[in-house]
Structure 1
Amino acid sequence: MHLTKRKQEGGQYGNKLESWFEVLDLFPKGHVELMLHDFEPEDERSWISYLKDKGLPAEPYWYQDYPGRFAKPEVLDISHYLKNIPLLEAEDLSGDLDLPDQYVTVQWDSNEDARTLPLESRKAVLDEYRKSGYKPVIVGGEAENPALKNSLRHIGYAMSKARFHVGVDSAFMHMAFLYFPHQDVHLYNKKNGFQSHHLRRALDCGCMLNLHYDDI
Protein backbone atom coordinates (compact mmCIF):
# COMPACT_ATOMS: atom_id res chain seq x y z
CA MET A 1 0.00 0.00 0.00
CA HIS A 2 1.49 3.31 -1.11
CA LEU A 3 0.77 6.38 1.02
CA THR A 4 1.00 9.96 -0.20
CA LYS A 5 2.41 12.61 2.11
CA ARG A 6 -1.07 13.74 3.14
CA LYS A 7 -2.11 10.21 4.11
CA GLN A 8 0.68 10.20 6.69
CA GLU A 9 -0.27 13.44 8.44
CA GLY A 10 -3.04 14.63 10.72
CA GLY A 11 -5.71 12.43 12.21
CA GLN A 12 -7.94 13.07 15.21
CA TYR A 13 -4.97 13.00 17.58
CA GLY A 14 -2.27 13.99 15.11
CA ASN A 15 -1.00 10.40 14.96
CA LYS A 16 -2.18 9.16 11.56
CA LEU A 17 1.12 7.53 10.63
CA GLU A 18 1.35 5.80 14.01
CA SER A 19 -2.20 4.53 13.48
CA TRP A 20 -1.28 3.04 10.11
CA PHE A 21 1.40 0.91 11.73
CA GLU A 22 -0.90 -0.04 14.59
CA VAL A 23 -3.38 -1.41 12.04
CA LEU A 24 -0.56 -3.17 10.20
CA ASP A 25 0.44 -4.99 13.41
CA LEU A 26 -2.91 -6.79 13.42
CA PHE A 27 -1.96 -8.72 10.29
CA PRO A 28 0.51 -11.60 9.93
CA LYS A 29 4.01 -10.35 9.20
CA GLY A 30 4.89 -10.08 5.53
CA HIS A 31 1.33 -9.97 4.17
CA VAL A 32 0.80 -6.20 4.06
CA GLU A 33 3.43 -3.53 3.54
CA LEU A 34 3.32 0.25 3.64
CA MET A 35 5.46 2.36 1.34
CA LEU A 36 5.71 6.00 2.42
CA HIS A 37 6.22 8.74 -0.16
CA ASP A 38 7.20 12.35 0.41
CA PHE A 39 4.98 13.38 -2.47
CA GLU A 40 1.48 14.83 -2.76
CA PRO A 41 -0.09 14.34 -6.20
CA GLU A 42 -2.42 16.80 -7.87
CA ASP A 43 -4.76 14.01 -8.94
CA GLU A 44 -4.95 10.24 -9.39
CA ARG A 45 -3.20 10.35 -12.75
CA SER A 46 -0.16 12.20 -11.43
CA TRP A 47 0.01 9.79 -8.48
CA ILE A 48 0.07 6.71 -10.72
CA SER A 49 2.61 8.36 -13.04
CA TYR A 50 4.84 9.14 -10.06
CA LEU A 51 4.74 5.51 -8.87
CA LYS A 52 5.34 4.05 -12.32
CA ASP A 53 8.29 6.40 -12.89
CA LYS A 54 9.80 4.84 -9.77
CA GLY A 55 9.28 1.37 -11.19
CA LEU A 56 6.48 0.49 -8.78
CA PRO A 57 3.70 -1.69 -10.28
CA ALA A 58 0.81 0.17 -8.66
CA GLU A 59 -2.71 0.14 -10.05
CA PRO A 60 -5.64 2.44 -9.22
CA TYR A 61 -8.74 0.74 -7.84
CA TRP A 62 -12.47 1.37 -7.75
CA TYR A 63 -15.62 -0.10 -6.19
CA GLN A 64 -17.60 -1.76 -8.97
CA ASP A 65 -20.56 -2.77 -6.80
CA TYR A 66 -21.33 0.71 -5.45
CA PRO A 67 -19.31 3.19 -7.52
CA GLY A 68 -19.18 6.81 -6.47
CA ARG A 69 -20.76 9.54 -8.52
CA PHE A 70 -17.53 10.41 -10.30
CA ALA A 71 -15.96 6.95 -10.26
CA LYS A 72 -14.70 5.37 -13.44
CA PRO A 73 -13.81 1.74 -14.13
CA GLU A 74 -10.27 0.78 -13.18
CA VAL A 75 -8.18 -2.36 -13.58
CA LEU A 76 -8.60 -3.37 -9.94
CA ASP A 77 -12.10 -3.88 -8.51
CA ILE A 78 -11.40 -3.69 -4.77
CA SER A 79 -15.00 -4.57 -3.80
CA HIS A 80 -14.40 -8.12 -5.01
CA TYR A 81 -11.82 -8.64 -2.25
CA LEU A 82 -14.07 -7.27 0.49
CA LYS A 83 -16.77 -9.91 0.15
CA ASN A 84 -14.84 -12.84 1.63
CA ILE A 85 -12.25 -11.61 4.11
CA PRO A 86 -10.00 -14.23 5.76
CA LEU A 87 -10.38 -13.98 9.53
CA LEU A 88 -7.35 -13.02 11.59
CA GLU A 89 -6.05 -14.91 14.61
CA ALA A 90 -5.73 -12.37 17.41
CA GLU A 91 -2.79 -12.13 19.75
CA ASP A 92 -3.61 -13.75 23.10
CA LEU A 93 -4.07 -10.84 25.50
CA SER A 94 -6.30 -12.68 27.98
CA GLY A 95 -3.97 -11.71 30.83
CA ASP A 96 -4.67 -8.02 30.19
CA LEU A 97 -8.47 -8.19 30.02
CA ASP A 98 -11.18 -9.48 32.34
CA LEU A 99 -13.81 -10.49 29.80
CA PRO A 100 -17.19 -12.14 30.53
CA ASP A 101 -17.83 -15.76 29.55
CA GLN A 102 -20.49 -14.73 27.03
CA TYR A 103 -20.48 -11.28 25.51
CA VAL A 104 -20.83 -9.12 22.42
CA THR A 105 -18.50 -6.29 21.48
CA VAL A 106 -20.34 -3.00 21.02
CA GLN A 107 -19.43 0.31 19.38
CA TRP A 108 -21.92 3.12 18.88
CA ASP A 109 -19.85 6.31 18.61
CA SER A 110 -19.49 7.81 15.17
CA ASN A 111 -18.25 11.06 13.67
CA GLU A 112 -21.70 11.52 12.14
CA ASP A 113 -24.95 11.41 14.14
CA ALA A 114 -26.75 10.10 11.05
CA ARG A 115 -24.80 6.84 11.32
CA THR A 116 -25.82 5.92 14.87
CA LEU A 117 -28.93 5.49 17.05
CA PRO A 118 -30.41 7.70 19.77
CA LEU A 119 -29.17 6.89 23.27
CA GLU A 120 -32.44 5.35 24.47
CA SER A 121 -32.60 3.12 21.41
CA ARG A 122 -29.06 1.90 22.02
CA LYS A 123 -29.99 0.94 25.57
CA ALA A 124 -33.08 -0.95 24.35
CA VAL A 125 -31.01 -2.82 21.75
CA LEU A 126 -28.41 -3.90 24.32
CA ASP A 127 -31.14 -5.06 26.70
CA GLU A 128 -32.18 -7.57 24.04
CA TYR A 129 -28.67 -9.01 23.90
CA ARG A 130 -28.60 -9.20 27.71
CA LYS A 131 -31.85 -11.19 27.61
CA SER A 132 -30.09 -13.67 25.34
CA GLY A 133 -27.28 -14.05 27.85
CA TYR A 134 -24.68 -11.77 26.30
CA LYS A 135 -23.02 -9.00 28.26
CA PRO A 136 -22.15 -5.88 26.21
CA VAL A 137 -18.42 -5.05 26.11
CA ILE A 138 -17.90 -1.54 24.80
CA VAL A 139 -14.95 -0.89 22.50
CA GLY A 140 -13.78 2.33 20.88
CA GLY A 141 -14.29 5.90 21.99
CA GLU A 142 -16.95 5.18 24.62
CA ALA A 143 -15.11 2.28 26.30
CA GLU A 144 -14.29 2.71 29.99
CA ASN A 145 -11.37 0.29 29.82
CA PRO A 146 -8.38 2.23 28.39
CA ALA A 147 -7.12 -0.87 26.56
CA LEU A 148 -10.48 -1.32 24.80
CA LYS A 149 -10.54 2.37 23.97
CA ASN A 150 -7.00 2.95 22.73
CA SER A 151 -5.38 -0.37 21.78
CA LEU A 152 -6.36 -2.09 18.53
CA ARG A 153 -4.50 -5.22 19.65
CA HIS A 154 -6.72 -5.53 22.74
CA ILE A 155 -9.88 -4.66 20.82
CA GLY A 156 -8.99 -7.30 18.24
CA TYR A 157 -8.53 -9.91 20.96
CA ALA A 158 -11.89 -8.99 22.54
CA MET A 159 -13.61 -9.24 19.17
CA SER A 160 -12.01 -12.62 18.46
CA LYS A 161 -13.63 -14.12 21.60
CA ALA A 162 -17.04 -12.40 21.31
CA ARG A 163 -20.21 -14.06 19.98
CA PHE A 164 -21.30 -11.07 17.90
CA HIS A 165 -20.23 -7.53 17.14
CA VAL A 166 -22.96 -4.91 17.57
CA GLY A 167 -22.40 -1.50 16.07
CA VAL A 168 -22.74 1.07 13.34
CA ASP A 169 -21.08 2.01 10.07
CA SER A 170 -17.67 3.04 11.36
CA ALA A 171 -14.00 2.11 11.34
CA PHE A 172 -14.73 -0.56 13.96
CA MET A 173 -17.27 -2.16 11.63
CA HIS A 174 -14.40 -2.77 9.22
CA MET A 175 -12.24 -4.07 12.05
CA ALA A 176 -15.00 -6.48 13.05
CA PHE A 177 -14.84 -8.03 9.58
CA LEU A 178 -11.32 -9.21 10.44
CA TYR A 179 -12.58 -11.32 13.35
CA PHE A 180 -16.23 -12.21 12.60
CA PRO A 181 -18.00 -13.82 9.66
CA HIS A 182 -20.35 -11.23 8.18
CA GLN A 183 -23.48 -12.89 9.59
CA ASP A 184 -22.18 -12.33 13.13
CA VAL A 185 -21.82 -8.58 12.67
CA HIS A 186 -25.08 -6.89 13.67
CA LEU A 187 -25.35 -3.35 12.31
CA TYR A 188 -27.77 -0.63 13.27
CA ASN A 189 -28.92 2.42 11.34
CA LYS A 190 -31.81 4.86 11.49
CA LYS A 191 -34.55 4.11 8.98
CA ASN A 192 -33.72 7.17 6.93
CA GLY A 193 -30.12 7.38 8.09
CA PHE A 194 -27.15 7.69 5.76
CA GLN A 195 -26.06 4.41 4.19
CA SER A 196 -22.55 4.43 2.77
CA HIS A 197 -21.32 2.02 0.13
CA HIS A 198 -19.48 0.25 2.97
CA LEU A 199 -22.74 -0.40 4.82
CA ARG A 200 -24.59 -1.51 1.71
CA ARG A 201 -21.79 -3.92 0.82
CA ALA A 202 -21.78 -5.30 4.36
CA LEU A 203 -25.50 -6.05 4.11
CA ASP A 204 -25.00 -7.71 0.72
CA CYS A 205 -22.36 -9.94 2.33
CA GLY A 206 -24.70 -11.14 5.09
CA CYS A 207 -24.52 -8.65 7.96
CA MET A 208 -27.79 -8.18 9.84
CA LEU A 209 -29.41 -4.76 9.98
CA ASN A 210 -31.52 -3.51 12.91
CA LEU A 211 -32.12 -6.96 14.42
CA HIS A 212 -33.44 -5.46 17.68
CA TYR A 213 -34.41 -2.01 16.45
CA ASP A 214 -37.53 -0.83 14.67
CA ASP A 215 -37.33 2.82 13.66
CA ILE A 216 -40.96 3.76 13.16
Structure 2
Amino acid sequence: MPLGLVAQRTIKWQGMKLNELDKQGRKQGEWLFFDKKGNALMHCQFRNDKVISPRVFFNNGDTVLVRLEPNDSLEHFIYYYKGQQVSGAFVNSGDQFRIELDHIPQGFTREDIAELKRWYAVKIEPVYMFGMQPLVDYFSAAYYKANTIPNWNHNFVVTIDASGRVTNVEWEKKDELWTDNVEREVFGMFYNMGRWQPFFDTWQTKEIKLTMSLGADLHTITAR
Protein backbone atom coordinates (compact mmCIF):
# COMPACT_ATOMS: atom_id res chain seq x y z
CA MET A 1 0.00 0.00 0.00
CA PRO A 2 1.31 3.52 -0.73
CA LEU A 3 2.44 5.83 2.04
CA GLY A 4 -0.47 7.90 3.31
CA LEU A 5 -0.19 11.66 3.12
CA VAL A 6 -0.62 13.43 6.43
CA ALA A 7 -2.19 16.88 6.27
CA GLN A 8 -1.32 18.10 9.76
CA ARG A 9 1.94 20.05 9.83
CA THR A 10 1.47 21.08 13.48
CA ILE A 11 -0.48 20.03 16.57
CA LYS A 12 -2.61 22.51 18.53
CA TRP A 13 -2.16 22.45 22.30
CA GLN A 14 -3.48 25.15 24.65
CA GLY A 15 -3.69 27.61 21.77
CA MET A 16 -0.12 26.96 20.59
CA LYS A 17 1.04 25.25 17.42
CA LEU A 18 3.70 22.67 18.19
CA ASN A 19 5.34 19.55 16.83
CA GLU A 20 5.89 20.84 13.31
CA LEU A 21 6.85 18.71 10.33
CA ASP A 22 8.26 20.45 7.29
CA LYS A 23 7.48 19.49 3.68
CA GLN A 24 10.15 16.79 3.82
CA GLY A 25 8.57 15.28 6.92
CA ARG A 26 11.40 16.44 9.21
CA LYS A 27 10.75 17.55 12.78
CA GLN A 28 11.28 21.28 13.34
CA GLY A 29 10.96 23.76 16.22
CA GLU A 30 9.28 23.27 19.59
CA TRP A 31 8.06 19.78 20.41
CA LEU A 32 6.10 18.39 23.33
CA PHE A 33 5.63 14.70 24.08
CA PHE A 34 2.58 13.48 26.02
CA ASP A 35 1.15 10.48 27.82
CA LYS A 36 -2.11 8.84 26.74
CA LYS A 37 -4.14 11.31 28.83
CA GLY A 38 -2.60 14.33 27.11
CA ASN A 39 -0.28 15.31 29.97
CA ALA A 40 3.06 16.79 28.90
CA LEU A 41 6.03 14.51 29.57
CA MET A 42 8.96 16.12 27.77
CA HIS A 43 9.92 19.26 25.85
CA CYS A 44 12.74 19.79 23.37
CA GLN A 45 13.56 21.58 20.12
CA PHE A 46 14.34 19.99 16.76
CA ARG A 47 16.16 21.22 13.70
CA ASN A 48 16.00 18.98 10.64
CA ASP A 49 15.08 15.97 12.81
CA LYS A 50 17.97 16.51 15.25
CA VAL A 51 17.44 17.53 18.90
CA ILE A 52 19.23 20.86 19.41
CA SER A 53 18.16 21.79 22.94
CA PRO A 54 18.12 20.35 26.45
CA ARG A 55 15.40 17.79 27.08
CA VAL A 56 13.11 18.88 29.89
CA PHE A 57 11.11 16.11 31.57
CA PHE A 58 7.93 16.71 33.57
CA ASN A 59 6.21 14.78 36.34
CA ASN A 60 2.65 15.82 37.25
CA GLY A 61 3.23 19.18 35.60
CA ASP A 62 6.48 19.96 37.42
CA THR A 63 9.98 19.92 35.94
CA VAL A 64 11.79 16.88 37.27
CA LEU A 65 14.90 16.58 35.07
CA VAL A 66 16.80 18.70 32.54
CA ARG A 67 19.25 16.72 30.42
CA LEU A 68 21.95 18.49 28.42
CA GLU A 69 23.46 17.20 25.20
CA PRO A 70 26.06 14.50 25.82
CA ASN A 71 29.73 15.41 25.44
CA ASP A 72 31.80 12.27 24.82
CA SER A 73 30.99 9.97 27.77
CA LEU A 74 29.34 12.68 29.91
CA GLU A 75 25.75 13.86 29.93
CA HIS A 76 25.20 16.66 32.43
CA PHE A 77 21.81 17.16 34.04
CA ILE A 78 19.87 19.12 36.65
CA TYR A 79 17.63 16.99 38.86
CA TYR A 80 14.84 18.53 40.93
CA TYR A 81 14.66 16.64 44.21
CA LYS A 82 12.07 17.77 46.76
CA GLY A 83 12.43 21.42 45.77
CA GLN A 84 16.22 21.25 45.50
CA GLN A 85 18.27 21.56 42.32
CA VAL A 86 20.94 18.89 42.13
CA SER A 87 23.51 19.07 39.35
CA GLY A 88 25.19 15.93 38.12
CA ALA A 89 26.24 13.81 35.19
CA PHE A 90 25.41 10.46 33.66
CA VAL A 91 28.73 8.81 32.82
CA ASN A 92 29.03 6.07 30.21
CA SER A 93 32.53 4.67 29.97
CA GLY A 94 32.73 1.49 27.93
CA ASP A 95 30.41 -0.99 29.62
CA GLN A 96 30.38 1.03 32.84
CA PHE A 97 27.59 3.42 33.81
CA ARG A 98 27.48 5.64 36.87
CA ILE A 99 25.74 8.74 38.19
CA GLU A 100 27.77 11.62 39.63
CA LEU A 101 26.15 14.33 41.79
CA ASP A 102 27.65 17.66 42.87
CA HIS A 103 26.24 17.01 46.35
CA ILE A 104 24.06 14.46 48.08
CA PRO A 105 20.80 16.11 49.20
CA GLN A 106 19.57 15.45 52.68
CA GLY A 107 17.44 12.34 52.79
CA PHE A 108 18.72 11.05 49.43
CA THR A 109 18.62 7.24 49.44
CA ARG A 110 19.45 4.30 47.19
CA GLU A 111 15.82 4.31 46.12
CA ASP A 112 16.24 7.90 44.93
CA ILE A 113 19.33 6.92 42.94
CA ALA A 114 17.29 4.11 41.36
CA GLU A 115 14.56 6.63 40.48
CA LEU A 116 17.10 8.96 38.87
CA LYS A 117 18.49 6.03 36.90
CA ARG A 118 14.94 5.24 35.77
CA TRP A 119 14.62 8.78 34.44
CA TYR A 120 17.86 8.28 32.53
CA ALA A 121 16.46 5.21 30.80
CA VAL A 122 12.94 6.58 30.28
CA LYS A 123 11.29 5.96 26.92
CA ILE A 124 8.24 7.85 25.68
CA GLU A 125 5.77 5.60 23.91
CA PRO A 126 3.87 6.46 20.72
CA VAL A 127 0.44 8.00 21.30
CA TYR A 128 -2.20 8.63 18.64
CA MET A 129 -2.60 12.36 17.91
CA PHE A 130 -0.26 13.12 20.83
CA GLY A 131 -3.00 12.16 23.27
CA MET A 132 -5.26 14.93 21.93
CA GLN A 133 -7.79 12.54 20.36
CA PRO A 134 -8.76 9.01 21.49
CA LEU A 135 -7.92 6.33 18.97
CA VAL A 136 -11.36 4.75 19.31
CA ASP A 137 -12.98 8.04 18.29
CA TYR A 138 -11.06 8.04 15.03
CA PHE A 139 -12.06 4.48 14.17
CA SER A 140 -15.67 5.11 15.18
CA ALA A 141 -15.87 7.96 12.66
CA ALA A 142 -14.03 5.96 10.00
CA TYR A 143 -16.36 2.98 10.43
CA TYR A 144 -19.41 5.24 10.29
CA LYS A 145 -18.29 6.60 6.90
CA ALA A 146 -17.39 3.17 5.53
CA ASN A 147 -19.67 1.49 3.02
CA THR A 148 -18.49 -1.96 4.10
CA ILE A 149 -18.02 -2.45 7.85
CA PRO A 150 -16.10 -5.60 8.78
CA ASN A 151 -17.86 -7.72 11.41
CA TRP A 152 -14.82 -9.75 12.48
CA ASN A 153 -11.67 -9.16 14.46
CA HIS A 154 -8.23 -8.81 12.93
CA ASN A 155 -4.73 -8.14 14.22
CA PHE A 156 -2.65 -5.55 12.41
CA VAL A 157 1.01 -4.56 12.64
CA VAL A 158 1.33 -0.82 12.09
CA THR A 159 4.70 0.82 11.40
CA ILE A 160 5.06 4.38 12.70
CA ASP A 161 8.14 6.24 11.50
CA ALA A 162 10.36 8.61 13.47
CA SER A 163 8.08 11.54 12.57
CA GLY A 164 4.87 9.84 13.72
CA ARG A 165 3.47 8.88 10.33
CA VAL A 166 1.94 5.51 9.45
CA THR A 167 4.19 4.09 6.73
CA ASN A 168 3.21 0.42 6.57
CA VAL A 169 0.33 -1.83 7.63
CA GLU A 170 0.38 -5.62 7.69
CA TRP A 171 -2.50 -7.85 8.73
CA GLU A 172 -3.01 -11.35 10.06
CA LYS A 173 -4.44 -13.38 7.20
CA LYS A 174 -7.68 -15.21 7.96
CA ASP A 175 -10.18 -17.23 6.02
CA GLU A 176 -12.65 -14.42 5.35
CA LEU A 177 -12.99 -13.32 1.76
CA TRP A 178 -11.66 -9.79 1.36
CA THR A 179 -13.20 -7.89 -1.51
CA ASP A 180 -11.33 -5.03 -3.11
CA ASN A 181 -13.72 -2.58 -1.46
CA VAL A 182 -13.23 -4.04 2.01
CA GLU A 183 -9.46 -4.04 1.65
CA ARG A 184 -9.45 -0.48 0.33
CA GLU A 185 -11.61 0.80 3.17
CA VAL A 186 -9.80 -1.09 5.93
CA PHE A 187 -6.35 0.03 4.88
CA GLY A 188 -7.59 3.52 4.09
CA MET A 189 -8.57 3.84 7.75
CA PHE A 190 -4.97 3.28 8.78
CA TYR A 191 -3.16 5.26 6.11
CA ASN A 192 -5.45 8.28 6.42
CA MET A 193 -5.34 8.55 10.20
CA GLY A 194 -3.75 11.57 11.86
CA ARG A 195 -0.21 11.74 13.10
CA TRP A 196 1.08 9.73 16.01
CA GLN A 197 3.51 10.86 18.65
CA PRO A 198 6.70 9.08 17.56
CA PHE A 199 8.55 6.73 19.88
CA PHE A 200 11.28 8.64 21.74
CA ASP A 201 14.32 6.77 23.05
CA THR A 202 17.29 8.51 24.71
CA TRP A 203 18.09 11.41 22.35
CA GLN A 204 16.09 10.70 19.22
CA THR A 205 12.76 9.47 17.91
CA LYS A 206 12.78 6.05 16.28
CA GLU A 207 10.60 3.96 14.00
CA ILE A 208 8.46 1.46 15.85
CA LYS A 209 5.91 -1.26 15.09
CA LEU A 210 2.65 -1.53 17.03
CA THR A 211 0.28 -4.46 17.09
CA MET A 212 -3.37 -3.51 17.04
CA SER A 213 -6.45 -5.67 17.51
CA LEU A 214 -9.44 -4.11 15.78
CA GLY A 215 -12.97 -5.46 15.55
CA ALA A 216 -16.46 -4.34 14.67
CA ASP A 217 -17.12 -3.51 18.33
CA LEU A 218 -14.57 -0.69 17.85
CA HIS A 219 -12.52 -1.96 20.76
CA THR A 220 -8.93 -1.11 19.92
CA ILE A 221 -5.83 -2.23 21.75
CA THR A 222 -2.29 -1.19 20.90
CA ALA A 223 0.86 -2.60 22.39
CA ARG A 224 4.54 -2.80 21.54
TM-score interval, normalised by the smaller of the two chains: 0.3 to 0.5
* Structure whose residues are more often helix by fraction: 1
Normalized per residue, the structure richer in strand is 2
Report the structure number with the largest CA radius of gyration.
Answer: 2
TM-score by length of 1: 0.32
